[in-house]
Amino acid sequence: MPAHRAAQQAADSAHIYQVKATRRGTGDQVTLAYRIVGEAGHGSFGVVLKAELLQGGGTDVVAIKRVKQDERSKNRELQIMSAVAHPHIVKLQAFWFEASLSGEDAVETWLHLVFELIPKTLHHLSRSYSRRNEYVPELLVKLWVYQLLRALSYLHSIGVCHRDIKPHNLMCDPASGRLVLIDFGSAKVLGEANVSYTCSRFYRAPELVLGASLYADSIDLWSSGCVLAELLAGKTFFVGQDGVGQLVEIIKVLGTPTRREVLAMQPTYVEHDFAIASPEALDLLASILVYTPSFRPRAIEAMCHPFFDELRLGNTRSSSANGTSGSGRQGRRWGLVMPDSQAVTVPPFDFSTHELSICPDLNPILVPSHARAALLAGPDGIDLDRFKPIDLAPLRLSLD
């Protein structure tokens, strides 16, 4: 849909639109009634509008992403979003196509994707701390980055690389602590040559900067490391401008400088302001931000790093429902409270059978003992003592 029409709709919040859409998952054709209440975002792809779905006598606030569709090919984002299902990946609810006339009287087709709406971007939340000359509390950094890694662990297990991890593409709900990964416009099933000019510059892995066309999902880990560094430092970590391009040309000829050589050229180059970062945070960061792609940890391996132990242990203990444990002592259950006294309600350990089949040897670390009962009572009824991993190979995506 043309931008001028989108703007017109945004201004006309009283008007109710009705469209025939396809429900994600079931494929059922449904009639959606909605009204536009504002703009949630925009970019080269098009625009994301905030809308109210009118259904069942009530309203449901959603995000509607409008993307121009190339008639010669299928939309990769739609294919991927129709296939994925994970608590930390934004949920696609429905979609529809709409034709309209362009300024030259040519017919254009626009894809509309209806997503759940999450209130804030990670960029917005982190900058709110910077504006107050504060650092993001490290416990909050742990919670956010852990959920990002969990989303990537699932994505990579089905063969999908996001290719544009950055704070603008991470949405957070401050009330619950939940984080979700959005914007799969650059996502791709890897396996053949790809364009290297992908991922936003400040979060682009070195192999992409050097023009590699054959790369792995480890580029997402590099970007995640950049996000972690940004949250710890309170500012964008690698801010490359024209000078970086010149340095890249030198590296192509002379090779990568050693740490000693970098310090000889600029003694303060590697000094960064991590005033509140713990040794565990810096250790995780150092393990991710490495040149060799194969040396970076897998997302699920990074989740097991001691940096996240506080999430697994919790920082509060409240009385259990029955009041006492089997030993006669008062029972306790896990809880996590942020520095602002806000209790985290998003469940960090509600792993699926799929997730626990990615690397079963790590399950004893991933699932703390207090979370086992919830897993057993969950939808998959997982008993870790008797757990048998499933074969994930048939679940890898293969797009047309």
What are the beta bridge partners of residue 197?
none
pLDDT by residue for the chain (400 residues), tens digit each?
Answer: 455 555 555 456 678 999 999 999 899 999 999 999 999 888 767 799 999 999 877 789 999 999 988 766 678 999 999 999 999 999 999 999 998 877 666 788 999 999 999 999 999 999 999 999 999 999 999 999 999 999 999 999 999 999 999 999 999 999 999 999 999 999 999 886 676 666 888 898 888 877 888 899 999 999 999 999 999 999 988 876 655 666 676 777 778 888 777 767 766 554 566 878 999 999 999 999 988 899 999 999 999 999 999 999 998 754 444 433 333 334 457 889 988 888 999 999 999 999 999 999 999 999 999 999 999 999 999 999 999 999 999 999 988 7
**pLDDT in the model for residue 246:** 64
Catalytic residue among 12, 105, 164, 340: 164
173 burial (CB, 10 Å; 0-12 / 13-18 / 19+) is middle
**pLDDT in the model for residue 326:** 37
Q: Tell me which fold the domain 25-50+57-116 belongs to.
A: Phosphorylase Kinase; domain 1 (3.30.200)
- For the chain, give every domain's residue range: 25-50+57-116, 120-237+272-400
What are the residues whose beta carbons fall under 8 Å from the beta carbon of 12, sequence distance 6 or more? Answer: 36
Q: pTM of the full predicted structure? A: 0.89
User: What would the two tokens of residue 26 be?
Assistant: 């079931």
Residue 179: enclosing H or E segment and its boundaries?
Answer: strand 178-181
Which of 127, 130, 139, 134 has the alpha carbon at shortest distance from 281? Answer: 139
164 catalytically annotated: yes
**Structural class in CATH, domain 120-237+272-400:** mainly alpha
CB atoms closer than 10 angstroms to residue 389: 14
DSSP secondary structure string for all residues of 261-306: HHHHH-TTTT----SS--HHHHHHHHHHS-SSGGGSPPHHHHHTSG
CA-CA distance, 85 to 90, in Å (whole number)? 9
**pLDDT in the model for residue 321:** 40
> Which residue in the block uniquely carries the two structure tokens 């048998």?
388
Residue 352: enclosing H or E segment and its boundaries?
Answer: none
Q: Is the dihedral of CA 156, 235, 213, 251 positive or negative?
A: negative
Which of 309, 304, 257 has the alpha carbon at shortest distance from 278? Answer: 309
Q: b vs e for 211-248, b when ≥16 Cβ sit within 10 Å of the residue's Cβ?
A: ebeebbbbbbbbbbbbbbbbbbbbebbbeeeeeeeeee
User: What would the two tokens of residue 133 be?
Assistant: 């000359």
- Torsion angles phi and psi, residue 213, rounded to 5: -105, -15
